[in-house]
Amino acid sequence: MDKATIQEALKVIKYPGFSRDIVSFGLVRGVDFADGKATVALALTTADAQIPAQLKTEAEKVLQGLEGVSEVEVTVSVTAPKHTPPPPGQKREVTGPAQQSIGGVKRIIAVASGKGGVGKSTFSVNLACALDQVLSEQGKPESVGIMDCDLYGPSVPLMIGAASRPEVRGESLVPVESFGVRVMSMGLLIDEDTPVVWRGPMVMKTIQQFAANVDWGKLEVLVVDLPPGTGDAQLSLVQTLPLDGAVIVTTPQKAAVDVARRGALMFGKVNVPLLGVVENMSYLEGPDGEKQFLFGQGGGEAAATTLESEFLGQMPLDPVLREGADRGIPVVVSHSDRASSQVFRKIATRLLEKLSRSDYN
């Protein structure tokens, strides 16, 4: 019997309500074995008193079942989460193991997609700029941030023209500002050529640090660009952050409904309300105003209906939008009169309206 075997054995214990185990969640802080006695220290952040008790019992049972173990000691240290208050009337009963609030940030919304390449990052970046424009008109300039959680392929800095390294102030990183939006991304911290090899717990830790050690200042809204997909890795990110709502970006194909449904299930598991569905790359408008529906029709609306969520709008295919993303000037900033820019502003206005209300419907 050794420490590694004990650590391995603890992997059968899932965090209540999640498909991830407590080891990969990074909750096992110490393992020791000497003279037949196995000692395990767990550390978690939760407001639910049942969870530490349940994990302690399960860990004791697992350890007692190991050959060579005659005595067991499991300690659990619990920290209460510091939540941003949920909207009035909104209950957030299920919290993840390490959810932490982000000081000074009023609302946090996640942008998710079932798969890559649907334009999720392009949407997140333009949405952040559109939110900034709408909030500036309301007398709240420079109160939007964007957190790029795609650690493997961070594209937000390129799309929003952020290139400088974040400054370190005390123990915090200061986000880089671009077009009035505060940006934090792994892309700002590592060189483009550095191969990024992450393991699940490291990804979680990094995102937790983005939440806890980035000095976001006072923000009305923080947009979180999640990595594409709806698997366990995304779920664990989602439960780490105190999200107020989520937007799903999809494409017009009918098959998109299934993918979007998986996204909704993910947010459902952590009680994060769905704010709506956006359909991207909906159509190409010719010079004569005729719309060509290159990728089929109706996927976004069908997804919204299935998920009993709001259909927030259709984003046209727009070469100017793509060029803007490639040269680091979002279309919302460079061409505010484009049809796509107007859709972004409409969605931004609607989301702010929803976030200011309690029921989100």
Residues that bind ligand ADP (CB under 6 A): 113, 116-122, 155, 228, 280-281, 315, 317-318, 321-322, 325
Nearer to ligand ADP, 149 or 203 (CB): 149
Query: Of 119 and 166, which CB lies nearer to ligand ADP in the complex structure?
Result: 119
Beta-strand ranges (E) seen in the chain are 28-34, 37-45, 71-79, 105-113, 144-148, 167-169, 172-174, 176-178, 181-185, 219-225, 245-250, 274-279, 284-285, 291-292, 311-314
Amino acid identity, position 40: V
> Cβ neighbours of residue 144 under 8 Å, at least 6 residues apart?
128, 129, 131, 132, 135, 180, 181, 182, 219, 220, 221, 222, 223
> What's the min distance (Å) between Cβ of 298 and ligand ADP?
17
Q: How far is the CB of 160 from ligand ADP (least distance, A)?
A: 12
Cβ-closest residue to ligand ADP? 119
* Length in residues, the chain: 361
| CB closer to ligand ADP, 107 vs 120 | 120
CB-nearer residue toward ligand ADP: 28 or 160: 160
Residue 250 beta carbon to ligand ADP: minimum distance, rounded to whole angstroms: 10
| 42 and 22 Cβ atoms separated by less than 8 Å | yes
Please say whether the beta carbons of 240 and 45 come within 8 A: no
CB of 113 to ligand ADP, least distance (A): 5
Shortest Å distance, C-beta 260 to ligand ADP: 13
- Cα distance between the two ends of the chain: 55
Q: Which is nearer to ligand ADP, 302 or 317 (CB)?
A: 317
Residue 179 identity: F
